[in-house]
Structure 1
Amino acid sequence: MIGLILILLLVLFLPFTVKIVERNLEIFLFMMGICAAWVSQILNLELWHKALIDPIKITLAVLIAGFLFKWLRVPLKKSIQRISQSVPYSLFFALVVIILGLLSSIITAIIASLVLVLIISVLELERKAEIKLVIIACFAIGLGAALTPIGEPLSTIIISKLNEDSFFLLRLIGREVILGIIMMGIIAALFVQPKFKNSSASLSSHDGETYKEIIVRTVKIYLFVMGLTLLGAGFEPFINTYVLGLHPNLLYWINMISAILDNATLAAAEISPAMDLETIKAILLGLIISGGMLIPGNIPNIISAGKLNITSSEWARFGFPFGLMAMIIYFIAIVGERLL
């Protein structure tokens, strides 16, 4: 148990404090997963087979979607320009948030984020409006991607650990997620002002990705999910001892730590088949909502902030209070549903 606690501390804090670990997160988590499984004495052929198989679906989805996005980028850009000029901007903002949020479970959170960056580069919004729209859209993408095992690593890991079918998460949190995405679309329409930059300079930094970049990203996703599978299996003794007995409400708020740590990592460490659905739901909603608060919390945040040069302080000024309000609203809804 002491070894697992040490590994957990390394997983929680090194990616946030050591640059070389942050830049090589996939390899780091893969190594930590091996260490956790070895400490728990479950590093056997069966676990290796599972770790090799689990990432295949999401990896193929990321690879295929990456190629399609590269090939269709130019007509997609023209379509965005045409649609944005033919409908009111408030409606366009709402559609961007809602459509990307809902599609992220099919095209993956990564591709949804790249489409978002493309849309933002076409619009050339004033800085504050741009940041608000990006953050709201990333919250929606983070929510929607959790509905299927190909959407993002978090959902892949949960489906694998619980040995459930592909529609399990849709049944468990589909209503809450879809309503949340629609509400975020409405918020974008109401609170993002259609103010634009004076300069019409082209944003060359948002040019399409190379084939090498697509393949490298795909390999990283495979290693990332493989590492999380090993990590989750290795942490089963820790979960059974320290997490299973906690109240779902407490777990919900504890998972605000997802704002500074990748939520898939936390899901791998926390979720257990021994938990009831109420607890799993509280953990999952806490993770995917708070994951949008700060840049490191979610894949869409990292991609969008990196490509649009959004700083951590810029993100936090809007993302943290927005995410906190969403956490409170969802908490009231969860408690109310439980009481009914």
Structure 2
Amino acid sequence: MIGLFIILILVLFLPFTVKKVEHNLEVFLFIMGIAAAIVSGMMNMDLIEKALIDPIQITLAVLIAGLITKWAQVPLEKAILATSKALTPRIFLGLMVIVLGLASSIITAIIAAIILVIIVNVLPLERQSEIRITILACFSIGLGAALTPIGEPLSTIVVSKMGEDFGYLMGLIGPEVIPTVIVLGIISIFFVKTNPSSDTLTAENPAESYKEIIIRAAKIYLFVMGLTFLGHGFEPLIETYILGLSPALLYWINMISAVLDNATLAAAEVSPAMDGETIRAILLGLLIAGGMLIPGNIPNIIAAGKLNITSKEWAVFGLPVGIIIMALFFVILFVF
């Protein structure tokens, strides 16, 4: 347990304090994941096989989307710019946050994140505006994708464990998630600040080389593989210190999903023996915290990697936003 606590502390703080770690986050989390699996005694052939297979789907999606974006970059950019000018960038981006959040439950969080990257990369946004819009959109996507079993791994696992139907999560957390996605879209409008020196970013964003596309896909593969090892490696710690706690306490403890795979945490925590209120608290804690830091969710990883958002840049805005949302939901869930 001491070894796992040390690894957890390293994962939480090194990306923000050591430049070399920040610039090689995929490799760092991969190493920490292997260390956690070994220290906890969870490393075995089944886990290795799972870690090799789990990243394939997202890696292929990122690779294919990268190729499509390269081949269709010019018409995509023209369509995005024309639409944003017709609606104004503020309205367009606010609607984008809402639409991608809700659509992610059907098109998956991965595809929604890739579309987000294309849009943000094309529009002439100032750097701080680009970062904040991206983070708010990733919160929206992370929440919205959980409304159906096909949106993201967490929702798939929960519906399977509970033995429920397709609409189970929509009924359970939809009343909280849908208004939150809409509010995130409205808030996004106030963070839109365009760069007046540029009408289009096409000239400043030449198409990626095939080498860059392949390298990014490989990094995503390594990242997800590391998160798989990390999530399973921390299972003994979760079982010892987290399971059996009150829903209100679990809600806040699930902030660790900011650095751990929330699907793995959901698999460890959710049980058919729990009532709906407990499961709702667990899921909302996991989903909201997942937007706070880059490793917390797949959309964060994709967007941060493509848009060159550092761990510090994400945390400066993502942590306060996440904590405010969690505080508001805590009042709604446990006070009223």
TM alignment of 1:34-45, pairs within 5 A: 34-45=34-45
- Separation in 1 of the partners of 2:143 and 2:184? 11
What's the CA shift string for 1:236-273, capped at 9, x where partnerless?
22111111132222232244466xx5353x66468515
- Are the aligned partners of 2:22 and 2:311 in contact in 1 as well (CA < 8 Å)? no
Question: Are residues 98 and 20 of structure 1, via their aligned partners in 2, closer, same or farther at CA, if it must alter by over 3 Å?
Answer: same
Match of residue 198, structure 2, among 179, 197, 200: 200
Aligned counterpart, 1:262 = 259
Residues in 1 aligned to 2:289 and 2:220: alpha-carbon distance in whole angstroms = 22
1:28 aligns with: 28
Deviation, structure 1 residue 219:
1.9
Distance between the aligned counterparts of 2:256 and 2:266, measured in 1? 12
Do the aligned partners of residues 79 and 21 (structure 1) sit closer, same or farther apart at CA in structure 2, a change above 3 Å counting? same
The C-alpha deviation readout for 1:274-316, integer Å capped at 9, x for no partner, is 6547555434422432444566765655665676677888767
Q: Is residue 135–residue 300 contact of structure 2 (8 Å, CA) maintained in 1?
A: yes
AA at the equivalent of 1:219: A
Aligned CA-pair RMSD? 4.0
TM-score by length of 1: 0.75
CA pair 131-15 structure 1, distance change in 2 beyond 3 A:
closer
Deviation at 1:235, TM superposition (A): 2.2
Residue of 268, 284, 288 corresponding to 1:272:
268
Moved more, 83-92 or 128-137: 128-137
Offset, 1:95: 1.8
Looking at structure 2, the residues matched to 114 and 23 of structure 1 have their Cα atoms a distance apart, in angstroms, of 21
Residue 249 of structure 1 aligns with an amino acid whose one-letter code is A
Conserved 8 A contact 1:161-1:272: no
Distance 2:121 2:270 in 1: 46
* CA–CA separation in structure 1 for the residues paired with 2:103 and 2:173: 16
User: Is 1:247 aligned to 2:231, yes or no?
Assistant: no
Rate the CA distance shift 1:22–1:110 in 2: closer, same or farther, 3 A: farther
Residue of structure 1 equivalent to 2:53? 53
8 Å Cα contact 2:26-2:219 kept in structure 1: yes
5 Å matches for 1:66-81? 66-81=66-81
Deviation of 1:80 (Å):
1.2
Deviations 1:143-166 (A, max 9, x none): 234557886xxx547856997599
**Shift, 1:73, TM fit:** 2.2
Distance 1:75 1:16, change over 3 A: same
> SS at 1:43's partner residue?
coil
Closer, same or farther in 2 for the Cα pair 1:210/1:328, shift >3 Å?
A: same
The Cα offsets for residues 50-82 of structure 1, whole Å up to 9 and x where unpaired, read as 222222222222222222222222221111122
Higher mean alpha-carbon deviation, 216-225 vs 306-315, is at: 306-315
Equivalent residues of 1:141, 1:300 under 8 A apart: yes
Query: Structure 2 stretches of 5 or more lacking a match?
Result: none
Distance in 1 of aligned mates of 2:136 and 2:255: 17
Q: Which residue of 2 aligns with 1:216?
A: 215
**Residues 94 and 7 of structure 1: CA distance in aligned 2, closer, same or farther (over 3 Å):** closer
Q: Give the 3 Å change call, closer, same or farther, for CA 74–150 of structure 1 in structure 2.
A: farther
SS of the residue 2:43 aligns to: coil
Report whether the alignment pairs 1:182 with 2:182. Answer: yes
Paired with 2:14 and 2:313, the residues of 1 have a C-alpha distance of: 23
| In structure 2, C-alpha distance between the alignment counterparts of 1:311 and 1:25, rounded to whole Å | 10
Q: 1:89-111, CA deviations, whole angstroms, 9 ceiling, x for partnerless residues? A: 55423321112223445666565
Q: What is the distance in 2 between the residues matched to 1:161 and 1:34?
A: 26
- What TM-score results when the alignment is normalised by the length of structure 2? 0.75
SS class of match (1:92): helix
Any conservation in 2 of the 1:118–1:206 contact (CA below 8 Å)? Answer: no
- Distance of aligned partners of 1:109 and 1:18 in 2 relative to their CA distance in 1, 3 Å threshold: farther
Greater mean alpha carbon deviation, residues 71-80 or residues 9-18 = 9-18
Task: Give the structure 2 partner of residue 333 of structure 1.
Answer: 332
- Of stretches 52-61 and 106-115 in structure 1, the one that deviates more from structure 2 is 106-115
Given residue 272 of structure 1, which amino acid in structure 2 is its aligned partner? Answer: A
Name the amino acid aligned to 1:21.
V
Given that residues 235 and 269 in structure 1 are in contact (C-alpha distance below 8 angstroms), is that contact kept between their aligned partners in structure 2?
no
- In 1, Cα distance between the equivalents of 2:309 and 2:24? 21
The equivalences for 1:1-340 within 5 A come to: 1-87=1-87, 89-104=89-104, 109=109, 112-113=112-113, 115-120=115-120, 122-125=122-125, 132-146=132-146, 155-156=152-153, 164=161, 173-189=173-189, 191-192=190-191, 196-200=194-198, 202-203=200-201, 204-256=203-255, 261-264=258-261, 268=264, 272=268, 275=271, 276=274, 279=278, 281-293=280-292, 300=299, 319-335=318-334
In structure 2, relative to structure 1, the CA distance for the partners of 1:38 and 1:208 (3 Å cut) is same
In the superposition, relative to structure 1, how do residues 85 and 269 fare at CA in structure 2: closer, same or farther (>3 Å)? closer
Q: Bigger CA drift: 133-142 or 305-314?
A: 305-314
Equivalenced residues, count: 329
